[in-house]
Amino acid sequence: ASSAAHQKVCVVGGGPAGFYTAQHLLKACQDVQVDIYERLPVPFGLVRFGVAPDHPEVKNVISTFTQTARHARCCYYGNVNVGTDVSVEELREAYHAVVLSYGAEGNRSMGVPGEDLEGVYPAKDFVGWYNGLPSNRELNPGLDCETAVILGQGNVALDVARILLSPIDELKKTDITQRSLDALAQSRVRRVLVVGRRGPLQVAGTVKELREMVNLPDTKPEMVASEFEGVAEALKVIPRPRKRLTELMLKTAVDPPAEKERQRRQAASLSWGLRFLRSPLEVLAGPDGARVAGIRLAVNRLEGTGDGSVAVPTGEVETLDCGLVITSIGYKSLPIDPAVPFDPRKAIVPNSLGRVQQAAGLYCSGWLKTGPIGVIATTMNNSFDTAHSVVEDLTSGCLDVTSAKPGSTGIGPLLDKRGVKPVSFSDWEKINQEERRRGAAQGKPREKLLDVEEMLKTART
Ligand code: FAD
């Protein structure tokens, strides 16, 4: 139910950006009603479908989002696909301000031959599969091979590497889907190589995720010491977070291990490694012509130093045998409505401080605003910034708040006419309860529902 507040704002997307934008608006304005429209019945975006199942502490933000959703002047409408079920123009008619925060749901492609072979998956889909994203539930990735290659060296790549090599007994205690747990238990993958275009000093991952690899039970690192030439010298001039990451890589790749570590490595049956200065040229098919059997890589050298350096091919080429390729080269926002300005090159909605250019009353936040970079805290800050712009415009007279707007009362009948039945936050809480109940039966915090129809049915019982 909508409150009596006079200023109506809606947020498109129920991920961190949507919830943080709503949180700030509710706190800063006492006379604002904030409605959140989310495509899926279930909220929280990549906190549910991206964050690795073995990082439960990262998901603690859900309790703050839940408080926001339960706020007297906030309303959650799940199962509403903006751009399809309701247009952005219709939302702009019904609300004083509309904030787009629908994230980055597309994949960047490598643009190399063989990319569509069986056994090649975008990390987004692979992660979606083990995290129960309904659209990825049938992925069934083939894990019947010894070597997996991951292209890209960010935290998502490290998450995927870790999940592929983690002991099943550890994963069992997480909210990873039972289906993927069963598949991983049968996995024959013994070796995971995480390949990057540039050098050790340009790795995008962070030290926590790398340390988890270094400490992963039953694994040994398989690094190439010669790839670290000159890196120790560079340590003196690099800033702190990267310095710690680089020190850990150097220690793992170059230093002779202490006796205990040597023994641990010797006994390990699995291995992982970072590979540098390699760009994909072609994914190679096996004898059947359908399944991946290897990848051809260009060997690069670096021009320039630090973050600004570029990889330039040397002309040398090498081939790696592998039966699984996961591309982790970035997510990408997509346009959802032709009426909204979109920059196809940067794949964001062009904006200044969250205000969409040439569209009064339209805003954006989160990954749609910045591109798919940064952690939840980054998303929080940029969403607070956008909310701040909205508050400024609501109070400065920039937006005409003297004319009454219907808010959800205007949108409800449209949805109804189109046969769309929104899921409320208390409906979601029924799904949540059911997932926890199913999880408890298996000693897990949650067993996610994988099917939208089943979510809807559960919400309505
Ligand atoms: P999203 O989280 O993607 O939310 C967008 C929401 O919009 C989704 O719920 C989506 O369903 C909805 N939506 C999409 N289209 C529509 C539409 N047409 N109509 C209505 N709703 C729509 N950060 C950390 O701090 N720690 C981590 O451990 C971590 N792990 C990560 C792991 C992975 C694999 C990924 C990809 C990211 C990770 N991040 C992590 C980063 C973090 O997830 C992002 O910073 C954050 O989720 C971005 O928030 P967002 O709201 O912009 O996008």
Q: How far is the CA of 50 from the centre of ligand 1 (A)?
A: 7
**Which of 11, 35, 68, 102 for mutating ligand 1's site (highest number of atoms within 8 Å of CB)?**
102
Q: 235 Cβ partners below 8 Å, 6+ apart? A: 243, 246, 247, 250
Which pLDDT value is given to residue 142? 92
Assess whether the C-beta atom of 434 lies below 6 angstroms from ligand 1.
no
Asked if pLDDT for residue 359 goes beyond 80, the answer is yes
Domains and CATH numbers, the chain: 7-105+333-423 (3.40.50.720), 110-330 (3.50.50.60)
Confidence class for position 305, pLDDT limits 50, 70, 90: confident
Which pLDDT value is given to residue 1? 59
Confidence class for position 307, pLDDT limits 50, 70, 90: confident
Which pLDDT value is given to residue 55? 98
Q: How far is the CA of 403 from the centre of ligand 1 (A)?
A: 34
* Tens-place pLDDT, residues 187-244: 999 999 999 999 999 999 899 999 999 999 999 999 999 999 999 999 888 988 899 9
Assess whether the C-beta atom of 12 lies below 6 angstroms from ligand 1.
yes
Which pLDDT value is given to residue 38? 98
* Higher-pLDDT residue of 184, 306: 184
Asked if pLDDT for residue 4 goes beyond 90, the answer is no
Percent of the chain with pLDDT over 70: 100
Mean pLDDT of 409-430: 98
State the Cα–Cα distance between residues 98 and 36, nearest whole angstrom: 10
This model of the complex carries an ipTM of 0.99
Pick the residue whose CA is nearest to atom 41 on ligand 1: 375
Stretch (H or E) spanning 297? strand 292-303
* Tens-place pLDDT, residues 238-274: 988 899 999 999 999 999 999 999 999 999 999 999 9
Any bridge partners for residue 75, and if so which? 35
Nearest atom in ligand 1 to the alpha carbon of residue 377 is: 25
Q: How far is the CA of 401 from the centre of ligand 1 (A)?
A: 31
Assess whether the C-beta atom of 227 lies below 6 angstroms from ligand 1.
no
Confidence class for position 400, pLDDT limits 50, 70, 90: confident
Mean pLDDT of 392-405: 92
Give the CA count within 13 Å in the CB-facing half-sphere of 276. 21
Give the CA count within 13 Å in the CB-facing half-sphere of 7. 21
* Tens-place pLDDT, residues 157-197: 999 999 999 999 999 999 999 999 999 999 999 999 999 99
Q: 383 Cβ partners below 8 Å, 6+ apart? A: 16, 17, 18, 20, 21, 24, 101, 365, 366
State the Cα–Cα distance between residues 80 and 38, nearest whole angstrom: 6
Q: Is 368 exposed, middle or buried (0-12, 13-18, 19+ CB in 10 A)?
A: buried
Nearest atom in ligand 1 to the alpha carbon of residue 84 is: 18
Which pLDDT value is given to residue 88? 98
Pick the residue whose CA is nearest to atom 24 on ligand 1: 375
* Tens-place pLDDT, residues 263-302: 999 999 999 999 999 999 999 999 999 999 999 999 999 9
Pick the residue whose CA is nearest to atom 27 on ligand 1: 51
Any bridge partners for residue 78, and if so which? 423
Q: How far is the CA of 34 from the centre of ligand 1 (A)?
A: 20
Percent of the chain with pLDDT over 90: 92
Assess whether the C-beta atom of 21 lies below 6 angstroms from ligand 1.
no
Asked if pLDDT for residue 461 goes beyond 90, the answer is no
Phi-psi region of 304 (alpha: psi -120 to 50; beta: other; left: phi over 0): left
For residue 82, the 8-state DSSP code is B
What are the helix (H) ranges across 320-407?
367-370, 376-396
* Tens-place pLDDT, residues 101-156: 999 999 898 999 999 999 999 999 999 999 999 999 999 999 999 999 999 999 99
C-alpha distances in Å from residue 197, one per residue of 86, 279, 296, 437? 42, 5, 13, 45
Asked if pLDDT for residue 2 goes beyond 80, the answer is no
* Tens-place pLDDT, residues 30-67: 999 999 999 999 999 999 999 999 999 999 999 999 99
**Which of 20, 44, 49, 51 for mutating ligand 1's site (highest number of atoms within 8 Å of CB)?**
51
Query: Is the CB of residue 369 less than 8 Å from the CB of residue 382?
Result: yes
Assess whether the C-beta atom of 51 lies below 6 angstroms from ligand 1.
yes
C-alpha distances in Å from residue 89, one per residue of 29, 62, 102, 336? 24, 30, 16, 12
Assigned token pair, 211: 């340390």
